[in-house]
Amino acid sequence: MPNYCDNRITVTGEEEDMAEFYELVQSDASMFAFEKVVPEPAFFDLMKSGKMDFVVDGEVQTHGHWIEGEGLDGEKVARPLSEAELAQFKGLARLDPDCWRDAHWGTKWGAIDVFEDTDEETATYSFTTAWSPPHGIIEALREKFPDLDIVAFFDCEEDQEAGYY
């Protein structure tokens, strides 16, 4: 079970900029969708872990991570991760989506229990994250929307940490 971190994000700006902001952060599944701000690699949905043998260039190789899914012909497909896919994890401790999210979002899961209070020029979002605030998400939003004022506050009670960033 994680230590939860409470977050409050307030965004203010011109109506046109706010409309673009709302379009980016909202999805059918969430009012504040991290995966829309900093998209995850598409292959995560097909990634498997464990041990599996593959024949590569005539040699049997054992891989701990691979892609598994359905090919265009409807047949089940399994293959090792490509060099480009492996590059997504460069510098990370582990080859798993949670580790990638932690490095790119600042937290390993998306926003939980999201509440919003919005109008044409101001939005306030309150939500919970696991273990830490979403620094990477806020940095990405500030880069994408330099004309918006984005104030972020977090309170990780279990760690006795709180503050603005």
Q: How many CB atoms lie within 10 A of CB 19?
A: 12
Q: What is the pLDDT of residue 71?
A: 64
Q: Specify whether 108 is located in the same domain as 27.
A: yes
pTM of the model: 0.84
Question: How far is residue 60's CA from residue 88's CA, in Å, rounded to a whole number?
Answer: 25
Q: What is the pLDDT of residue 72?
A: 64
Q: Specify whether 14 is located in the same domain as 33.
A: yes
Q: Specify whether 129 is located in the same domain as 58.
A: no
Distance of CA 5 to the CA centre of its chain: 16
Q: Is residue 97 included in any domain, yes or no? A: no
Which structural domain range is residue 29 located in? 4-40+103-164
- Beta-sheet strands, E only, within 30-88: 47-56, 59-70, 76-80
Q: Specify whether 56 is located in the same domain as 134.
A: no
Q: Specify whether 62 is located in the same domain as 112.
A: no
Q: Is residue 90 included in any domain, yes or no? A: no
Q: What is the pLDDT of residue 55?
A: 80
Q: Specify whether 114 is located in the same domain as 155.
A: yes
Q: Specify whether 55 is located in the same domain as 10.
A: no
CB 95, CB 89: distance < 8 Å: yes
Q: Is residue 91 included in any domain, yes or no? A: no
Low-confidence ranges of the chain (pLDDT < 70): 71-72
Q: Specify whether 108 is located in the same domain as 159.
A: yes
Q: List the CATH number of the domain containing 134.
A: 3.30.70.1270
Q: Is residue 74 included in any domain, yes or no? A: yes
Q: Where are the alpha helices (DSSP H) in the chain?
A: 15-25, 34-37, 83-87, 97-105, 135-144
Among the candidates 56, 84, 112, a domain finishes at 84
Q: Specify whether 133 is located in the same domain as 123.
A: yes
Q: Is residue 96 included in any domain, yes or no? A: no
Q: Is residue 132 included in any domain, yes or no? A: yes
Q: Specify whether 157 is located in the same domain as 80.
A: no
| Count of domains forming the chain | 2
Q: Is residue 95 included in any domain, yes or no? A: no
Q: Specify whether 130 is located in the same domain as 57.
A: no
